[in-house]
Structure 1
Amino acid sequence: MGGDLRDSLYPSTAFNPRLVWTGACLFAVGLIVAFAYAWGERTGIRALRQGVEHRLDIYAGGLQSELTRYDYLPGVLSLNKDVIALLQDPGNPQWLARVNHYLETVNRKAGSSEIYVMDMEGLTLAASNWNRPPSFVGRNFSYRPYFIDAAKGLPGRFYGIGTVSHTPGYYFSYGIYHDGKMLGVAAVKVDLDKLDDAWLRADEKVLVVDENGVIFLTSVPAWKFKTLAPLSPHTMERLAVTRQYHRAGSLAPLGMAEISRLPDGTRVIQFASEPGQQEASGNFLQPSYLLQSRPIPGTQWKLMALSNIAPIHARARNTAIAAALAMGFLSILVLYLQQRRRTVVQSLAASAALQRAHDQLERKVAARTEALSNANRHLQTEIAERRRAEEELKSTMEELVQAGKMAALGQMAASITHELNQPLAALRTLADNAAVLLQRGRLADAEENLAMIGQLTGRMGKITGQLKKFARKSPALLKPTSIAVTVAEACFLLEQRLRQERITLKIDVPEHACAYCDGNRLEQVLVNLLGNAIDAMMHSDDRQMEIQVRQFDDWVSIAVRDSGPGIPDELMHRLFEPFFTTKEPGAGLGLGLAISAGIVRDFGGILRAHNRPEGGAAFVLQLRPAKLEETVDV
């Protein structure tokens, strides 16, 4: 017993090689799919990085070429004698006009934005836009870093937004010397925004940031004059002094954040909010970018390229899916070959066992045939016995119904005897009187007595005829039956008893009420229900009984109600059980309601009982409706 208990508490787990093999295969497939995804991602990033590095060389070369293209111009101006003369005599209108025209011609041929000459105080004396508003002539740019560097004898380089033209550009500046003395500063403004047009066609996002992290050249217009990170208050104050990004907005941060770093140090970044793209696409899931950068020689700028790595992830997923499909196909192929081998083995085994099974089958068929023959004979015997039992049950039921009738007649015997004794006593008296009247010659009075004798004889015949009809033994025959006629005949049988018990009977039966049933048996049910109601009111002061009939589309309802004490709740469910009775011992066998319920079921109806709210009990019959014009002899 102890061993059984241990076995039930700690069931043994048998080693299943198939489950282990399946788990190992699934694990291997998972590793291969993960390796395929990692390999596809690594290969894609390597190819993307190499391509972007090559294009970064091209972008950097183009930007450097654009910067060096104009680097010579400020130095050329120091060789012009008119420029030297103007700086030595700023108020001479002749030198001013000649220098303005000279600067305008050089600017047009060089393709620069503007060229202008300033004295040592930063005041612009002559400019290429001398005749175009807004002109630089008379403007003081001493606060600009490119002027400050040139005034110190250094070559000035500066990118910023013009405070006069309000357009961005790159400024070159050199000091103008004569006999070793600096007389002024020459400056050239170049428009670099045309580089953005070439970058717009690039697959990646290209941007150039200055030493402060401000984006001033980019292939994404919405990023221009944004910052890679929030600027410090000191930097914002310094930019305000130089007016580098005059009227460029608040220099808001772009919200770039590093989310991962590749083994080679390449960063993967994502934007918290990508200006100009989220609103257009409605996609709130920001993409990830591969960030590659390089410095621009000769400047403090940095050239950066952002490549969307979503296509790389998509190709890596496709590679992993392809690997999974290949492994799935290979697994299916292996399973097919195993199943094929197993099928061949099973086929050989089946061929070997087929002959043995054939011999066994023949023996089993012979045995089963004999068993089936015996079973068939036994079944036929059971069917015959069941039919005899059904016939006996039907006969018993008929006898039970007839016994119920006789029991009802026995209960009515006293009242019927009283009903017949009165007419018999009257008949004897009337007959004696008629003889005396005839002897005395009073023929008229004798005829009157004889007429009364005839009426009494007819009443007695009606009573005995109704009793004979009620007691008649006949099979149930369902047909359209008038409910009014049946109710009247049942009440006639109990008329004397109702008078003796001083019971007030109310009958509410429509003349057209008709149902499919056997009239004689329905009369038996009503007599039983009415008799039970009379017995129930035996000790009641208020003795009222009601028969109410209602015909609906789906059924005919016959309700028998009394004013007795009602049916106890604990006995309600046993009312229709055979041999169950609430009457005193010897008053009945308890079969009346059981027989009545069986008769109603044979009609296809229902007999149920309930207590009335105002007191007393009610028995309700529900029968199938019929049309009155179909009614035949009841």
Structure 2
Amino acid sequence: MPALPDTIADPSDAAAAPPGRPPRRHWFEPVRLAWGAALAGGVALAWAAYWWTGEVSTDRLRAAGAQRLETYAASLENLLDKYDFLPHMLELDKDVLALLEHPGDAARRHEVNSYLERLSRQAGSRIIYIVDLRGRTLAASNWRQKDSFVGDDIGFRPYLQNALRGRPSGFYGVGTTSGEPGYFYARGVYRDGRMLGVAVVKVNIEALERGWIQGADKVMLADANGVVFLSSLPAWKYHALRPLPASVRASLAQTRQYHRLPLPPLPIRHEEARADGTRVLVIDTPGVTRSGTAPPLLAQTRSLAPRQWTFIYLSDLSQARANARAAVLFTCMAYGFLVVLFLYLRQRRRGNRQRLQAREQLLAAYNNLELMVAERTSRLEQTTQSLIDEMAVRRQAEQQLHRTQNELYQAGKMAVLGQMSASITHELNQPLTALRTMSDNAVLLFDRGRMAEARDNLAKISQIVARMGGITGKLKSFARKSNADLAPVSVHTAVSNALVLVERRLQLDNVAFTLDISQGDIYALCDSNRLEQVLLNLLSNALDALGTLERGARRELSVSVWEKPGSVLIRVADSGPGLSDEARARLFEPFFTTKPQGEGLGLGLAISEQIIRDFGGTLRAEGAATGACFIIELRPASAGP
């Protein structure tokens, strides 16, 4: 690790430089060079760790892949060699020789078909068949099946042409009749040195491929043209390692080796040759990887002579590169730890010097400490006294605000009572007139001795007095000052008390009133007197709005009460002219009113909204098809009083 300077010159040296001389910066260049060398050393060490770890992991994968490749090759060779003897057996059968010499003998053909069927079943081969010198199939083990080879002309197949030339050969291809792939053995059948025909054995090697698919290895088997005909990944099967030239495609079409399969090239996105003869491939095949990104693969090959096949074993390099990245991370952490350790030791030396300087400064500052403490204490006392005075002023302001709000609420009540005075006076004048008349009648009835009628008259007088007492009691209860404490309040009772005060006005204005309320009582957390004040204000506003309608217009007023989880809702709606956009925007502003001048102060809704907000609820206006609609939402009480 490069040595870094132990000390850094004080920047004040530049300020202390004599005039005309440039500031001293001789320390800057060495420090920058030292840090640059340290960074370059760390990068070089990380790159070396990445390269070495990647090479070691790749070599391990290559050794394991070579071993697995030999195992797969040996397994395939053993499978194919197991059927190499079957064409020799057919050359020893006298019925086969007789059929080749007399192809028109139907009985002999039946015997040979049955014999080939038994032999194929015992040997485990796919199909065994006999072909004459013209390339026509005389007998086959699948003679009972619909896709029987009997009578087929296979003279175009390369394995048959080679066998007819005296060169026994093998051939992998897709059957033109059955469409099933397989490996074909072809060997001439001789008698006394003269070729009579060809014996062919078709072996199904797809079972070997199924074993590859069940395993975790990635392996492919390609023919001499580079066409993959066996693969552990079905998506790679019948693909070419390289784009096939036109001449090769023409030859494959003539021999029908892959019978109408398109044989597209593998989507190899990246290919890199390594010095050890292997290659690194990236094959973009959908569905091959779970993450959707193709991993880099280490490709190792093994040739299978004389069939001119090539085994390709692919090892996933993701783990090797992950190991390399982990090595880089570990190296960077170790290198960083050494750098930090160096800086810590360097800082520790500097800290020791600074502690000595600080101790001297502390001794100098201690002499002024008492004075500083006294000054700070005096400031704190002044600040504390200021805070105490400010808190007292704030408490007085809050108390004054509460008193002002209560007086405003009370003024709102008085304003409502003043607006209702005409209807209340009319409500009381009728019973008073009735009392006077019925009192005079009672005196006459007593004078005439009609005691029973006088008693009935007095009973009616008592009922009228009780009704008047109820009205004045409601007015007295409504006019009293409210308590600021919140308690469970019966919403049914509050609505009933408010309706008593507007009942006469409903009759005089010929308003159709509807009350929608549940049978069971509902309790909300509020103050009963203030809730009645809000309800009375909303009902009075609704009646004022209905009073502006033309004669004969529909006048309806409704009150609905319901409860939902977490809230109690009261809805007051009318069929009046409704609210304009401007009125809806400024609805709860103090001193804003839509009534003619002199008929309203514009405080009713503002006071009502403040009251409901003090309850912890909301008062809002909602859109309606006709008229205005106000919703009071309150917190529910857990139980009634």
Q: TM-score range by the shorter chain?
A: 0.5 to 0.7
Quote the offset at 1:277 in angstroms: 3.5
2:299 corresponds to which letter in structure 1?
L
Distance 1:9 1:73 in 2: 104
- 1:58 counterpart residue number: 71
1:319-342: CA deviations, max 9, x gaps? 111111122222222222222333
Q: 2:320 aligns with which of 287, 309, 312?
A: 312
1:194 corresponds to which letter in structure 2?
A
Query: Superposition pairs for residues 491-530 of structure 1, below 5 Å?
Result: none
- 1:269 counterpart residue number: 281
Seen in structure 2, the aligned counterparts of structure 1 residues 257 and 300 have a Cα distance that, compared at 3 Å, is farther
Q: 1:232 aligns with which of 231, 240, 245?
A: 245
Seen in structure 2, the aligned counterparts of structure 1 residues 199 and 366 have a Cα distance that, compared at 3 Å, is closer
Seen in structure 2, the aligned counterparts of structure 1 residues 201 and 48 have a Cα distance that, compared at 3 Å, is farther
- 1:566 counterpart residue number: none
Seen in structure 2, the aligned counterparts of structure 1 residues 553 and 164 have a Cα distance that, compared at 3 Å, is closer
Seen in structure 2, the aligned counterparts of structure 1 residues 268 and 164 have a Cα distance that, compared at 3 Å, is same
Q: Tell whether the 8 Å contact from 1:258 to 1:267 is kept in structure 2 after alignment.
A: no
Report SS of the residue matched to 1:130: coil
- 1:95 counterpart residue number: 108
Q: Does 1:330 align with 2:342?
A: no
Q: 2:222 aligns with which of 191, 201, 209?
A: 209
- Bigger Cα displacement from structure 2, 324-333 vs 220-229: 324-333
Quote the offset at 1:61 in angstroms: 0.6
Seen in structure 2, the aligned counterparts of structure 1 residues 13 and 343 have a Cα distance that, compared at 3 Å, is closer
Q: Tell whether the 8 Å contact from 2:116 to 2:129 is kept in structure 1 after alignment.
A: yes
Q: Tell whether the 8 Å contact from 1:116 to 1:188 is kept in structure 2 after alignment.
A: yes
- 2:267 counterpart residue number: 255
Q: Does 1:43 align with 2:62?
A: no
Seen in structure 2, the aligned counterparts of structure 1 residues 37 and 108 have a Cα distance that, compared at 3 Å, is same
Q: Does 1:163 align with 2:176?
A: yes
Q: CA RMSD in A?
A: 3.0
- 1:404 counterpart residue number: none
Q: Tell whether the 8 Å contact from 2:218 to 2:314 is kept in structure 1 after alignment.
A: yes
- 2:399 counterpart residue number: none
Distance 1:187 1:305 in 2: 31
Distance 2:369 2:107 in 1: 136
Query: Superposition pairs for residues 349-360 of structure 1, below 5 Å?
Result: 357=364
Quote the offset at 1:140 in angstroms: 1.4
Query: Superposition pairs for residues 345-424 of structure 1, below 5 Å?
Result: 345-348=353-356, 357=364, 362=367
Quote the offset at 1:238 in angstroms: 1.0
Q: 2:204 aligns with which of 191, 196, 202?
A: 191
Report SS of the residue matched to 1:78: helix
Seen in structure 2, the aligned counterparts of structure 1 residues 101 and 29 have a Cα distance that, compared at 3 Å, is same
Distance 1:306 1:92 in 2: 54
Quote the offset at 1:307 in angstroms: 2.0
Quote the offset at 1:86 in angstroms: 1.1
Quote the offset at 1:294 in angstroms: 1.1
1:533-560: CA deviations, max 9, x gaps? xxxxxxxxxxxxxxxxxxx999xxxxxx
Query: Superposition pairs for residues 466-481 of structure 1, below 5 Å?
Result: none
Q: 2:163 aligns with which of 150, 153, 158?
A: 150
Which ranges of structure 2 fall in alignment gaps of 5 or more residues?
A: 1-18, 376-588, 592-641
1:307 corresponds to which letter in structure 2?
S
Distance 1:319 1:166 in 2: 52
1:37-59: CA deviations, max 9, x gaps? 11221111111111111100001
Q: Give the total of aligned pairs.
A: 360
Distance 1:142 1:205 in 2: 36
1:87 corresponds to which letter in structure 2?
L
Report SS of the residue matched to 1:106: helix
Distance 1:28 1:76 in 2: 74
1:495-525: CA deviations, max 9, x gaps? xxxxxxxxxxxxxxxxxxxxxxxxxxxxxxx
1:204-233: CA deviations, max 9, x gaps? 421111111111000111111111111111
Q: Tell whether the 8 Å contact from 2:288 to 2:294 is kept in structure 1 after alignment.
A: no
1:372-427: CA deviations, max 9, x gaps? 9xxxxxxxxxxxxxxxxxxxxxxxxxxxxxxxxxxxxxxxxxxxxxxxxxxxxxxx
2:303 corresponds to which letter in structure 1?
P
Query: Superposition pairs for residues 9-20 of structure 1, below 5 Å?
Result: 13-16=25-28, 17-20=30-33
Report SS of the residue matched to 2:92: coil
Report SS of the residue matched to 1:76: helix
TM (normalized to structure 2)?
Answer: 0.52
2:268 corresponds to which letter in structure 1?
M
Q: Does 1:241 align with 2:251?
A: no
- 1:287 counterpart residue number: 295
Report SS of the residue matched to 1:307: strand
Quote the offset at 1:270 in angstroms: 2.0
Seen in structure 2, the aligned counterparts of structure 1 residues 11 and 155 have a Cα distance that, compared at 3 Å, is farther
1:267 corresponds to which letter in structure 2?
R
1:7-46: CA deviations, max 9, x gaps? 9999774333443333322222222211111122111111
1:157 corresponds to which letter in structure 2?
G
Seen in structure 2, the aligned counterparts of structure 1 residues 203 and 334 have a Cα distance that, compared at 3 Å, is farther
Distance 1:218 1:88 in 2: 43
Quote the sequence identity (%).
41
Q: Does 1:124 align with 2:137?
A: yes
Distance 1:44 1:87 in 2: 60
Larger radius of gyration: 1
2:170 corresponds to which letter in structure 1?
R
- 1:303 counterpart residue number: 311
TM (normalized to structure 1)?
Answer: 0.53
Seen in structure 2, the aligned counterparts of structure 1 residues 35 and 201 have a Cα distance that, compared at 3 Å, is farther
Quote the offset at 1:203 in angstroms: 3.5
- 2:523 counterpart residue number: none
Distance 1:9 1:110 in 2: 104
Q: 1:77 aligns with which of 90, 93, 104?
A: 90
Distance 1:344 1:69 in 2: 85
1:260 corresponds to which letter in structure 2?
E
Q: 2:349 aligns with which of 325, 328, 341?
A: 341
Quote the offset at 1:256 in angstroms: 2.1
Quote the offset at 1:269 in angstroms: 1.7
Q: Tell whether the 8 Å contact from 1:203 to 1:307 is kept in structure 2 after alignment.
A: no
Seen in structure 2, the aligned counterparts of structure 1 residues 130 and 342 have a Cα distance that, compared at 3 Å, is same
1:242 corresponds to which letter in structure 2?
T
Quote the offset at 1:173 in angstroms: 0.7
Quote the offset at 1:349 in angstroms: 5.5
Q: Tell whether the 8 Å contact from 1:229 to 1:255 is kept in structure 2 after alignment.
A: no
Distance 1:326 1:366 in 2: 50
Seen in structure 2, the aligned counterparts of structure 1 residues 75 and 354 have a Cα distance that, compared at 3 Å, is same
Seen in structure 2, the aligned counterparts of structure 1 residues 15 and 69 have a Cα distance that, compared at 3 Å, is same
Distance 1:82 1:366 in 2: 129
1:183 corresponds to which letter in structure 2?
L
Distance 1:11 1:314 in 2: 51
Distance 1:11 1:199 in 2: 76
Which ranges of structure 1 fall in alignment gaps of 5 or more residues?
A: 1-6, 373-551, 555-634
Report SS of the residue matched to 1:200: helix
Quote the offset at 1:252 in angstroms: 1.1
